[in-house]
């Protein structure tokens, strides 16, 4: 079993009785973007999302229902890739989570972000208070 740069998984199968060789090729539906994220080819859905739902117990069909831009074969292909390369994919997922945490920390420590967040909170609380004062509690969205 080998994977080439185009994400192709190749198995050579030899059938002794028929004296023939059958080559089967499985294309992994994954593309690594310039920013390093691995996404389902032809979509913007990262493998992280598919694997997250798979780990929660979702079937490929359920994942497809949640993400209609993904083909069922591509979802099964991503799951297959995960199951056959679990160690590497888990390491990639850990790295992605660490990078996400670092970005979130950098954003939340930005004074301008803190100011904007505080102003937004004040506006929302004022709107809530105005609606409540008029005797019309805001509708739950």
Q: What is the mean pLDDT of each run of 10 residues along the chain (141 residues)?
A: 47 57 78 93 96 97 97 96 96 95 93 93 92 71 58
- Would 61 be classed as within a structural domain? yes
The pLDDT, as a whole number, for residue 31 is 94
CATH code at position 39:
1.10.10.10
Instruction: Output the pTM of the full model.
Output: 0.67
The pLDDT, as a whole number, for residue 28 is 86
- Would 47 be classed as within a structural domain? yes
- Would 55 be classed as within a structural domain? yes
Helices 111-133/86-108 angle, 10° precision: 80
The pLDDT, as a whole number, for residue 19 is 55
- Would 13 be classed as within a structural domain? no
How many angstroms separate the CA atoms of 112 and 99, rounded? 21
The pLDDT, as a whole number, for residue 5 is 45
User: What is the domain count for the chain?
Assistant: 1
- Would 126 be classed as within a structural domain? no
Give the residue numbers spanning the domain of 47: 30-96
- Would 90 be classed as within a structural domain? yes
- Per the CB < 8 A criterion, the answer to whether 10 and 2 are in contact is yes
């Amino acid at each position: 079993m080998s994977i080439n740069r185009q994400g192709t998984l190749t198995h050579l199968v030899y059938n002794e009785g028929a004296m023939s060789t059958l080559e089967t090729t499985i294309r992994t539906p994954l593309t690594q973007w310039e920013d390093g994220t691995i996404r389902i080819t032809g979509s913007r859905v990262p493998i992280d999302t598919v694997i997250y739902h798979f780990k929660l117990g979702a079937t490929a069909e359920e994942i497809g229902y949640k993400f209609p831009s993904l083909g069922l074969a591509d979802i099964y292909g991503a799951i297959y890739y995960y199951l056959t390369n679990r160690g590497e994919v888990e390491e990639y997922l850990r790295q992605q989570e660490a990078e996400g945490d670092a970005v979130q920390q950098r954003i939340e420590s930005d004074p301008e972000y803190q100011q904007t967040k505080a102003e937004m909170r004040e506006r929302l609380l004022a709107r809530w208070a105005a609606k409540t004062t008029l005797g019309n509690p805001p509708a739950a969205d």
